[in-house]
């Protein structure tokens, strides 16, 4: 019996030419309005013309494989290698048992649930049995909290001592439709718990940190807030001049960090006289490898679903 680890990530285009097909998958086949397509292409152009997510995830997988001694595979929800492609390869390689971990720590039926659905579809199409232990949530894992705190501190120390003494920390996570929380989805609660634990690890008093959401889709319905775009001007009006952005809902550099925070949020900060330092992402850091290795071991010790 071959036991493996499967890392699941969102995916991103390998080039500007891939953006239309990538968005078609994200949108479930619905046509992308031309103005939205042009906007997304320009965002990817601004960060270098492609998503770095796959390369980072593969580097993370290689380090996790070295640490655990188990084969580690990468499957993407919306781009190659798609989850179905990876699961097919795992079965061909003789894998019969695996731990699957989404590279998004907080659980939502809309996000993590979609990974689970894609994985279940891929498993149903196999002729050989492959048992999967699926990790649904790990937003309070000690190594994750320590790693996020270290990265937040790394941004903080780039400020002068005077600025650091007065700086505000804003933790961010991807926004989701507000109606999910109204129906009992745990995502917002888990994001809040992650933020509180990182703040405690940094010994931040409540007055020195906020939680904001980012990257909401324009659907015409309410999404979780307050948004980063709203929060920066509000803090500026309160007299904040130095700000650390810490994306605790994200693990790797990709467009929602490299554009939404490093370009769009920075522009808002400059317009309001606020200096912004963004915490580095965990990417393939030792802290993240430690967390994933522990999660995989715990999952494989339990009965796979």
Residue 17: cis peptide before it, omega within 30 degrees of 0: no
What's the confidence (pLDDT) of residue 302?
76
Q: Tell me, what's the pLDDT at 305?
A: 44
Could you tell me the strand order of the sheet in which 95-102 lies?
72-76, 2-9, 95-102, 131-135
pLDDT in tens, 64-98: 999 999 999 999 999 999 999 999 999 999 999 99
d(CA 277, CA 262): 9
Identical fold between 2-138+285-301 and 142-278:
yes
Phi, psi for 98 (deg, rounded to 5)? -155, 155
Exposure on the CB side of residue 72, measured as CA atoms within 13 A: 21
Position 277 scores a pLDDT of 97
The 10s digit of each residue's pLDDT in 165-202 is: 899 999 999 999 999 998 999 999 999 999 999 999 99
Pairing outcome for strands 72-76 and 95-102: unpaired
Residues with pLDDT less than 50, the chain: 304-305
Domain spans in the chain, listed from the N-terminal domain onward = 2-138+285-301, 142-278
For residue 102, the tally of other CB atoms under 10 A from its CB is: 25
Please state which CATH class domain 142-278 belongs to.
alpha beta
Q: Which helix (H) or strand (E) holds 76?
A: strand 72-76
Q: Could you tell me which CATH class the domain 2-138+285-301 is placed in? A: alpha beta
Can you give the pLDDT at residue 220? 80
């Amino acid at each position: 019996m071959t036991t493996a680890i499967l890392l699941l990530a969102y995916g991103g285009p390998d080039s500007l030419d891939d953006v239309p097909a990538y968005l078609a998958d994200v949108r479930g086949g619905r046509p992308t309005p031309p103005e939205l397509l042009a906007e997304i292409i320009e965002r990817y152009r601004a960060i270098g013309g492609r998503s770095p997510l796959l390369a980072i995830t593969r580097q993370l997988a290689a380090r996790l494989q070295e640490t655990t001694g188990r084969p580690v595979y990468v499957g993407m929800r919306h781009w190659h290698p798609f989850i179905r492609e990876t699961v097919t390869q795992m079965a061909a390689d003789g894998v019969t048992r695996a731990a699957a971990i989404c590279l998004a720590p907080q659980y939502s039926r809309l996000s993590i649930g979609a990974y689970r659905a894609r994985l279940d579809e891929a498993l149903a199409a196999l002729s050989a049995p492959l048992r999967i232990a699926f990790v649904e949530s790990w937003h309070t894992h000690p190594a994750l909290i320590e790693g996020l705190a270290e990265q937040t501190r790394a941004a903080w120390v780039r400020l002068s001592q005077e600025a650091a003494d007065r700086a505000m920390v804003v933790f961010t996570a991807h926004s989701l439709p507000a109606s999910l929380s109204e129906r009992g989805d745990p995502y917002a609660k888990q994001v809040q718990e992650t933020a509180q634990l990182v703040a405690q690890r940094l010994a931040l008093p409540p007055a020195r940190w906020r939680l904001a959401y980012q990257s909401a889709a324009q659907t015409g319905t309410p999404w979780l807030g307050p948004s980063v775009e709203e929060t920066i001007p509000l803090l500026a009006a309160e007299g904040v001049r130095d700000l650390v952005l810490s994306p605790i809902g994200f693990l790797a550099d990709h467009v929602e960090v490299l554009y939404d925070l490093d370009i769009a949020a920075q522009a808002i900060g400059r317009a309001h006289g606020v200096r912004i330092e963004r915490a580095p992402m965990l990417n393939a850091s030792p802290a993240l490898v430690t967390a994933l290795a522990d999660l995989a071991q715990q999952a494989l010790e339990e009965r796979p679903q």
